[in-house]
Amino acid sequence: MRSLIVITLLFVLAAAPVSSQVDSTDSAQGPIDLTDGPHVYWQNDSNAIVFYLCDGEVFKDTLQATDSLKFNGFCRDSAEFYSIPCGEVTIEPHINNNVSRIFAVSDVHGEYEFLRSLLINSSVINEAGDWTWGDGHLVIVGDVFDRGDKVTECLWLIHRLEQQAKAVGGRVHFVLGNHELMVIRGDNRYVHQRYLDGICRKTRIKHEDLFGPDMALGRWLRSKHTAVKINDILFVHGGIPPFMVGNGWNLDQLNSSVRRHLDLRSSQAAFSDTARMLFGSAGPLWYRGYHYGMEGKYEQACSTAVDSVLSACEASTIVIGHSECAAVHGIYGHRIIAIDIPVEDIGSLQGVLWQDDVFYLVTGDGQRHPIQY
């Protein structure tokens, strides 16, 4: 049996010893569960430290691997099996053709139960949380991070489904959103207190460093695209601003440029025109111009501007998140489909299904409703 080590030297506790599960209370959210993980720190390409905050205590194990790091969870997740490739994560193609069916959801924001329920009720996964959708493609259109208290659980679910789908001819695409950007770049405004008061305080590891380039989830995130196109449907979190295609940007340039600029120091980003454009309010991770204009930044996109984006990207439809709407619906004659919905008001996530050239709104309980044109 793997020996577990309670860390007392490597990680100095930032507070006095506490009771088993809770040592902090958020006035709005109630008691905070002090359990999180696993997190995997790569010492090199074959040695890793796996660590948890488990009921208020920090545990770790040092593991070795050749091609993949494989282990069973050792906190409350003992039934979970993790498989993590050694070395750099493969960057998958951002263009996929001849796909028979696509399911997309956005702005999960740590709502693990809602995500899992939607995927089960939509027949994408089974009750055990395993992929059952064959050669279908699942798209997470950004913003898994922040606000909610089960971000880590969401990330590992997507990570596992990505491997399971690929093994049977399907695919999972995790498109970066503005909240992924915020976490990677150290903006903690919307991080749930479970993480700040829990694993970050107990280990003295900054939240952004839990997802740094030497962490398994950090490497994985840095392999993700900002925009993917499946058949002739484009998926991007905020939207492609018309000025970008007017300036000659294509999807390959967009994806590679975001990856190159993610880890710039703040001083470097401040003096990089490209970084300021990509990561600013008019960039593809934050853009809201398909819904409304932003004074001093950009006007609301007109129908002609939307057509210019579609033409440049060789797409017929753009699926976006980021800007909340009452329900999944189409705008601009359904050339754009908006899928960020108010989860707390509705009591579930919603998704969009494309199959047989028809787009469907999929409710949290799995009901399908054709999106009317």
pLDDT at 372: 72
Is the pTM higher than 0.85? The answer reads: yes
pLDDT at 24: 52
Residue pLDDT, tens place only, 95-111: 999 999 999 999 999 99
The CATH number assigned to the domain with range 95-176+224-370 reads 3.60.21.10
pLDDT at 29: 55
pLDDT at 7: 38
- Residue 158 sits at φ, ψ, to 5 deg, of -65, -40
Note whether 255 and 291 are within 8 A (CB).
Answer: no
- Residue 134 is inside which H or E element, if any? none
Write down how long the chain is: 373
Angle, in degrees to the nearest 10, between helices 151-167 and 112-121: 30
pLDDT at 31: 76
Note whether 251 and 120 are within 8 A (CB).
Answer: no
255's CB contacts (< 8 A; 6+ apart) are 94, 225, 226, 227
Give me the residues of the chain with pLDDT under 70, please: 1-30, 373
Q: Spell out the domain ranges in the chain.
A: 5-85, 95-176+224-370
- How many CB atoms neighbour CB 370 within 10 A? 10
pLDDT at 110: 98
Distance CA 254, CA 185 (A): 18
Residue pLDDT, tens place only, 141-200: 999 999 999 999 999 999 999 999 999 999 999 999 999 999 999 999 999 999 999 999
- Distance from chain centroid for Cα 214: 18
> Helices then strands (H, E): number in the chain?
12, 20
pLDDT at 18: 29
pLDDT at 6: 42
pLDDT at 22: 41
Of 207, 187, 191, the residue nearest 199 (C-alpha): 207
